[in-house]
Structure 1
């Protein structure tokens, strides 16, 4: 089973919740039914593919994931998990797949990595929202990620970032979650996008 899990904050769309925007676009692309809300998460299923949207705050993403697994009596090691999130280290229009790092700087990813401890069956699909402000402090970064996209940023996201994220998801489904070397996958997509 492949679970595509989007993390972000509840409320209006902003840079921090771009994962939810991508999830909706992927679901439309694959013809999935609308998400059904169940407390801290919402979900929809097509065969052995499940779309899960966290309804928790970013730094509590693990709660939504845990509740999804418990409610559906699924063990976390029985799935390939793909986490959709806002990647502030990457420029707008770029997408990157990777595995967990030892010291994650993204609060949502940090939260998911606490729950998915071994990380062997987890991929992070970061959708670029950068460049981040230069000389950003913790406070200015928080304000920036919670701000809405400017019109020209939204256009780049819709014309490049989201279609590229969909291409990555199509690839993951094609190889049935057996992604292999993420650097090679990223190299392929950066050459062909």
Structure 2
């Protein structure tokens, strides 16, 4: 069983923003896996299904970014899932736009959603897929809550597909394989 959480903020005003790239990847995964992420559970929109014999739980926390840990904590404790089977997908301002980076574990890197998750799970020992949103040209809040420019959309759309493929690769072949295949 895997719990896969894409981080973002709920509400129409946040759709298409840099901070919601995790939600975009969950939507892409749902499409690829034939799932609907519409049930409200664990303070999240949830989709449940199976892939290659593994139960898959897709989460889009509805707690707002800085409290994402509440949703993930509830799901992890409900399913009693080992942390190596929890995959978190989120934006990273320190990666170039459209780059993805997979890690087996690590710090939050200053990302408040990850701070919340690490604090509530009391661990940094879970896989994550980061999607580069580029360095802010202005203040950080305006950058992460801003929508992608028209010129950035093709690159970010490709990154979302690549990140979804990376998550599927983690499930099928393990984190080491996915890291060597997708980390560029």
Q: Indicate the TM-score class for this superposition, using the shorter chain for normalisation.
A: 0.7 to 0.9
- Which whole-Å CA distance do the structure 1 matches of 2:154 and 2:65 have between them? 24
Check if 1:27 corresponds to 2:26: no
* Partner secondary structure for residue 63 of structure 2: coil
Q: CA deviation at 1:19?
A: 0.4
Q: How large is the RMSD of aligned CA atoms in angstroms?
A: 2.1
What is the TM-score with the length of structure 2 in the denominator?
0.85
Check if 1:36 corresponds to 2:39: yes
Question: In the alignment, is the contact (CA less than 8 A) between 2:107 and 2:124 conserved in 1?
Answer: no
- The structure-2 alpha-carbon separation of the partners of 1:179 and 1:90, relative to structure 1 and needing over 3 Å to count, comes to same
- Which whole-Å CA distance do the structure 1 matches of 2:165 and 2:183 have between them? 11
How many equivalent residue pairs? Answer: 177
What is the TM-score with the length of structure 1 in the denominator?
0.82
Check if 1:179 corresponds to 2:172: no
Q: CA deviation at 1:102?
A: 4.1
Q: CA deviation at 1:84?
A: 0.9
Q: CA deviation at 1:109?
A: 0.9
- The structure-2 alpha-carbon separation of the partners of 1:86 and 1:78, relative to structure 1 and needing over 3 Å to count, comes to closer
Residue of structure 2 in register with 1:9 after alignment: 9
Q: CA deviation at 1:185?
A: 4.1
- The structure-2 alpha-carbon separation of the partners of 1:174 and 1:19, relative to structure 1 and needing over 3 Å to count, comes to same
- Which whole-Å CA distance do the structure 1 matches of 2:163 and 2:83 have between them? 24
- Which whole-Å CA distance do the structure 1 matches of 2:23 and 2:29 have between them? 10
Unmatched runs of 5 consecutive residues or more in structure 1: none
- The structure-2 alpha-carbon separation of the partners of 1:79 and 1:35, relative to structure 1 and needing over 3 Å to count, comes to farther
Residue of structure 2 in register with 1:68 after alignment: 75
- The structure-2 alpha-carbon separation of the partners of 1:39 and 1:65, relative to structure 1 and needing over 3 Å to count, comes to closer
Residue of structure 1 in register with 2:166 after alignment: 168
Question: In the alignment, is the contact (CA less than 8 A) between 1:18 and 1:85 conserved in 2?
Answer: yes
Match of 1:91 among 89, 96, 106: 96
Residue of structure 1 in register with 2:131 after alignment: 127
Q: Deviations over 1:124-150 (max 9, x none)?
A: 1001111x125x6xxx11111111111
Unmatched runs of 5 consecutive residues or more in structure 2: none
- Which whole-Å CA distance do the structure 1 matches of 2:108 and 2:71 have between them? 22
Deviates more, 1:61-70 or 1:86-95: 61-70
- Higher-Rg structure is 1
| Moved >4 Å (runs of 4+) | none
